[in-house]
Chains A and B, each alone.
Chain A
Amino acid sequence: MSMLNRLRNWLDWEGSAYAFISPYAVLFLIFIVIPVAAAILLSFTYFDTIQFPHFIGLRNYITLVTQDDVFMKYVLPNTIEFAVIVGPGGYALAFLLAWMLAQLPRLPRTVLALILYSPSMTSSVTMAVVWQTLFSGDQNGYLNSFLLNMGIIQEPVQWLQSPQFLMPIMIVVTLWSSMGVGFLAMLAGILDINPELYEAAAMDGMSSRWQEIFYVTIPSMKPQMLFGAVMAIVGTFQAGAIGVALSGANPTPQYAGQLIVNHVEDYGFLRYEMGYAAAVSVVLLLMVLFFTRLANRLFRTEEG
């Protein structure tokens, strides 16, 4: 009897909470937790999708570091170059743009913010069709024709097929569409700062805008800065498919635009070496984790 009562009590207090959260929790488990766990487990196995995976210890990771020339020579440096420019670069750009927008009155600010945000509404991979037209390799391509007219180049350039230009174009395209949720969060954060803080700072003799940014603006909106940073990191690594989409080939020409995400797909879906692909994706997840920890340290709030 008392058992039943306690059960009923529990149901009254906690049961409804679990009822509310369970649909999300189940989906979260199936599509996020289990895939991550499976990736970690699979990374210690050999798995060709036909036979049951068998355990091979750390061999995938050892191969990755010692024998995978493509990974060490192209994929890793490319990923780091791409991530460093698009990640912190895009993030700083988003903050500066948000800060400048905050200095404008409401109407122009809203219009300009909307224009800056709108590219992030497009999906960069599906947008590849537009970029392919702009960067088309013959003299009919818009960029080629423009540069030929200006006399900057003498011959049409194969923008998307040349190893030299693919990476810079990938970076520009990704930056173009990176003013997303994080950018809006930072804009909202800057606008929410109590204006009296600035007045008080001015009384203290703080005169330059840069001082204001570093001593008032950023410290007052650390939580938004951190949210923006996490969104920037995720967006950066999520954007990895862009090189393949632009050049239309995996691997990209001479591996010039090959990022870690493409390497995973190359091994997973083209060569069916699932265990090895899983090891590469674990490395990717660790990179995301590392950068997020870094952002956490930078923007830690005291109470939190």
Chain B
Amino acid sequence: MEFSEEHAGERIIRSLRGRAEGRAGRPRPFVPSSRPLQTVQVAPAKRRGLRRFYSLRSSGINPPGFHPSQIPFYLILLPVVAFMLLPIIFIFSTAFKPFEELFVYPPRFFVVNPTLKNFRDLLTLMSASDVPVSRYLFNSIAVTLISVAASIFVSSMAAYALSKKRFGLKQTLFAVNTVALMFVPIAVTIPRFLIIARMGLIDSFMVHILPMLAMPVGVFLLKQFMDTVPNELIEAAQMDGASDLQIYWRIILPMVRPAIATIAILTFQATWNNADTSAIYINLESLKTFAFYLSTLAATTSGANVVAGQGMAAAAALILFLPNLIIFLILQSQVMSTMSHSGLKG
């Protein structure tokens, strides 16, 4: 018997889609139904009954409020979430521990008398080669801000061309970019190093920034989002005599703000957490970043002075982590709406 599960699933979906559309009768632009199978007519009374039955059984996807049927999900999710949270609580707790508490035996997970001493120590500390920690921090902030700004423009311009313009190489370039989604930068560290060395970018500020701007995921997400901007809007603007740049700047950019927020976050995380660039392409201590400094702390704390360094290392990890968290908190709803358009056609 030839019955593959996958095809069965697809058939069912198609027929269901047809039915859902037949009943609701509202336009659904994103799920074109290829061929609605026989539409089952359900009497309105029965439909209401079913809906009530359904909401009794469970509130289903994205329910409006609490329902007893959700309890099992809470029971599974809460322990997982607690486990995921543990290391983060540990960073917070250790970062604020005073010296004595770091040495307590047996070690205590939570801090009792929180203090800012670790942060003060960290910021006044000099690395082995007389570079103050504030210098690493400054480098990180500068590199990250420039990368995020540049990445927004570079990616959105490319996405605009790929989404809204007509040109010969359009399909090819988008296909190449889609393949590049699976690019693993760490695999080509060596040829990248040779090329960057040949370009004379070793020990330059730009080497922190330029490689970050080639971000296929960013262009992909922006392009998918721009596809939802109606072409009529652009045509109307063209009739009013708007130039390409004006259309890009006044229409496209404001309309894809959620996607831009997402790109900003992705670039921010990639750059702010990046220790590899400093380790591989930078020899000058004064040009290295804070993430790199933290990774050297990791190396030194495994030596003799394990415990004393823990507090400062945790403080540094916290400084590295908090900006990520805050920015994501501010922009999370925009990220989620971008992710709705992240679909990849195989």
Task: List the interface of chain A (C-beta within 8 A of B).
Answer: 13-14, 16-18, 20-21, 23-25, 27-28, 30-32, 34-36, 38-39, 42, 97, 100-106, 108, 110, 112, 114-119, 121-123, 125-134, 136, 139-142, 145, 148-149, 176, 179, 181, 184-185, 187-204, 214-216, 218-224, 226-227, 230-231, 233-234, 237-238, 240-241, 245, 248, 261, 264-265, 268-269, 274, 277-278, 281, 284-285, 288-289, 292, 295-297, 299-304
Contacts and interface: CB of A to CB of B under 8 A. Distances in A.
Interface string B89-130: 011001000000000011101000000000000000000000
Interface string B180-221: 111111111111101100010000000000110110110100
Contacts of B195: 30-31, 34-35, 38
B302 A132 contact: yes
B228 interface: no
Nearest to B337: A188
Given A112-B77, A176-B84, A233-B182, 9 more contacts: A20-B160, A23-B213, A30-B210, A103-B59, A123-B320, A129-B294, A130-B94, A139-B105, A223-B344
Contacts of B310: 133
Contact of B343 (A128, A184, A223, A261): A223
B200 to A, nearest CB: 13
Given A237-B186, A281-B188, A136 B317 contact: no
B344 to A, nearest CB: 4
Interface residues of B, number: 130
B182 A123 contact: no
Contacts of B302: 132, 248
What does DSSP make chain A's interface, helix, strand, loop or mixed? helix
Contacts of B244: 16, 20
Given A129-B297, A238-B184, A227 B109 contact: no
Contacts of A129: 294-295, 297-298, 301, 313-314, 316-317
A195 B60 contact: yes
Which residue of B87, B157, B274, B301 has the most chain A CB atoms within 10 A of its CB atom? B87
Given A136-B306, A238-B185, A194 B31 contact: yes
Contacts of A123: 273-275, 291, 320
B90 to A, nearest CB: 7
Nearest to B306: A136
Given A24-B219, A32-B214, A194-B31, A226 B190 contact: no
B248 A20 contact: yes
B29 interface: no
A110 B332 contact: yes
B31 A264 contact: no
Contacts of A221: 343
Contact of A281 (B19, B54, B106, B190): B190
Interface string B157-170: 11011100111101
Given A181-B217, A215-B8, A31 B192 contact: yes
B76 interface: yes
Contacts of B16: 197, 200-201, 204, 216
B260 interface: no
30 contacts: A20-B161, A23-B153, A24-B213, A27-B214, A97-B80, A100-B76, A102-B61, A103-B60, A104-B73, A119-B88, A121-B273, A121-B325, A127-B317, A129-B314, A133-B313, A145-B105, A176-B84, A188-B339, A188-B340, A199-B20, A199-B51, A202-B53, A214-B5, A222-B343, A231-B217, A234-B183, A238-B185, A269-B190, A301-B346, A302-B34
A185 B345 contact: no
A160 B155 CA distance: 41
Contacts of B167: 13-14, 17-18
Given A97-B80, A130-B87, A140-B107, A234 B182 contact: yes
Given A110-B332, A245-B295, A184 B339 contact: yes
B220 to A, nearest CB: 9
A145 B307 CA distance: 14
Contacts of A222: 343, 346
A166 B166 CA distance: 53
B70 interface: yes
B87 to A, nearest CB: 6
Contacts of A220: 13
Contacts of B68: none
Residue in A106, A222, A227 whose Cβ sees the most chain B Cβ within 10 Å? A227
B154 A27 contact: yes
A126 B294 contact: yes
Contact of A21 (B77, B81, B162): B162
B269 A24 contact: no
Contact of A240 (B161, B186, B194, B332): B186
